[in-house]
Amino acid sequence: MIPIAQPLLGPEEAAAASQTVLSGWLSQGPQVADFEAEFAALVGVEHACAVSNCTTALHLALLAVGVGPGSEVITVSHSFIASANAIRQCGGVPVFIDIEADGYNIDPSAIAAAITPRSRAILCVHQIGMPCDLAAIRAVAQAHGLPVIEDAACAIGSEILIDGGWSRIGRAHGDIVCFSFHPRKVITTGEGGMLTTRNPEHDAKFRLWRQHGMSVSDVKRHQSQSVIFETYPVQGYNYRMTDIQAAVGREQLKRLGGIVARRRALADQYTAMLAGVDGIEPPREPAWARSNWQSYCIRLDPAIGQVAVMQKMLEHGIATRRGIMCMHLEEAHVDVPRPFPLTRSEHARDHCILLPLFPQMTGAMQSEVVERLIEAVEAARPVRSPPKLAVVS
């Protein structure tokens, strides 16, 4: 079986987790602090705050910029359902706009029309690791005084050419960036998330909220030479990352450069192998973006059945996934108003397929995927009726 994804873990991660278990400090503590510092240095940002997962990161980011009951957040429906769930958990309303014509990210040209007096933020998603057009998004946001939150769940290690140079996603070209370390992502801590920002006030709120609103951290209290009693000035949440997870994350950060390089090489090979194949459109990487290729998404000719292709590949032991979900079509969010057409989003969901891609993938595996994909596409083509012969009387 060729899986859709596979995390790259080894003895180093196992040893780091074991050492942390034996240290006696398992919950949020010194390993988390070191992971945050190393992550911040990696992406080039002042503040990084570790949390339990990316969904909780999104929740805190939205709260920090003032999203509350009745607030509108402009975003895409073409994303994992957590994006909209976090907005609604704040009492806000997602305002769904469509994706770009030649990709799978938010269409910057559609944002301005969605802005109302109730707009509180723009939530853009770096879908499947491909950076959004942050320069265009930021220009609209600044013109209307709106903060930008980047859902970078899939985008650790991706880069963007902006402000005259290349920089990593996470440097907070908007206001706040949220990452995921789920096993489906490029690096993993099992579960886990991270918020990055250049705003010290945002960072202070994240640290307060993630630990029940507690005024003094466990580490500070443990290290103190005098008795300290914590207070709870605000209502908070239990959104902490454990030291076991952070210890694994620190080892994963050491692998990131090699993982991304391998994924980019595999993506280039896919594109070369699929070039010119009738009925299959490979993904496009803009000149100003360097994707980590968290997923490789192909688009099928609408006449070719998506499910039929996926089923045929599954029968040959190859896992795939359909195009990114559309949240407005899920029962959980059918009550959200839809003031704008979402034609491109729906088309992408119904005609795109994610192919297997992971750093341990061999050339033989990739050749097998492409061979079986082409066979499946040919088998799923509609049968053409033979031409009718003219009747000569």
pLDDT at 221 > cutoff 80: no
Q: Strand 72-76 and strand 93-97: pairing?
A: parallel
What is the model's pLDDT at position 384?
61
Residue 393 has pLDDT above 60, yes or no: no
Residue carrying structure tokens 């908070």: 236
Say which range, 23-27, 55-59, 221-225, has the weakest mean pLDDT: 221-225
User: What is residue 326's DSSP assignment?
Assistant: B
pLDDT of residue 231: 83
List pLDDT tens digits, range 27-83.
999 999 999 999 999 999 999 999 999 999 999 999 999 999 999 999 999 999 999
Has residue 196 got a pLDDT over 90?
Answer: yes
Query: What is the end-to-end Cα distance of the chain in Å, rounded?
Result: 59
In this structure, of 58-62, 219-223, 274-278, 281-285, the range with the lowest mean pLDDT score is 219-223
Phi, psi of 240 (to 5 degrees): -80, 150
User: For the whole prediction, is pTM greater than 0.85?
Assistant: yes
Distance of CA 386 to the CA centre of its chain: 46
CB 185 within 8 A of CB 166: no
pLDDT band (50, 70, 90) for residue 184: very high
What's the mean pLDDT in 367-377? Answer: 98
Task: Return the pLDDT at 35.
Answer: 98
CA atoms in the 13 A half-sphere facing the CB of 286: 20
Residue closest to 323 by CA, chosen among 73, 29, 79, 67? 79
Query: Is the pLDDT assigned to residue 387 strictly greater than 70?
Result: no
Active-site annotation holder among 185, 220, 254, 388: 185
pLDDT of amino acid 225? 73
Tell me what the mean pLDDT of segment 323-345 comes to.
Answer: 95
**Averaged confidence pLDDT in the chain:** 95
Burial class (CB in 10 A: 0-12, 13-18, 19+), 381: middle
Q: Is the pLDDT of residue 106 over 90?
A: yes
Confidence of residue 239 (pLDDT cuts 50, 70, 90): very high
Percent of the chain with pLDDT over 90: 90
- Placement of tokens 């009726």 in the chain: 385
Residue 81 CA, distance from chain mean position: 11
Which region among 35-44, 52-61, 123-132, 378-387 has the lowest average model confidence (pLDDT)?
A: 378-387
Question: 185 catalytic, yes or no?
Answer: yes
Task: Return the structure tokens found at 3.
Answer: 């899986």
What ranges make up the beta strands (E) of the chain? 47-51, 72-76, 93-97, 119-125, 148-151, 159-162, 165-168, 176-180, 193-197, 280-281, 289-290, 296-300, 321-322, 352-355
Distance of alpha carbon 121 from alpha carbon 178, whole angstroms: 14
Structure tokens at 135: 């320069």
Q: Is the pLDDT of residue 391 over 70?
A: no
Q: Which two tokens stand for residue 386?
A: 């033979």
Q: Residue 386: its pLDDT value, please?
A: 60
CA dihedral 35, 36, 37, 39 (to 10 degrees): 80
Round to whole Å and give the CA distance between 159 and 263.
14
Contacts of 288 (CB under 8 A, 6+ apart): 131, 133, 135, 160, 161, 162
DSSP string, 338-387: --S--HHHHHHHHHEEEEP--TT--HHHHHHHHHHHHHHHHHHSPPPPPP
Q: Which residue has the higher pLDDT, 101 or 218?
A: 101
Exposed / middle / buried, residue 258 (Cβ in 10 Å: 0-12, 13-18, 19+): exposed
pLDDT, position 220: 75
**Could you tell me the two tokens for 16?**
């780091």
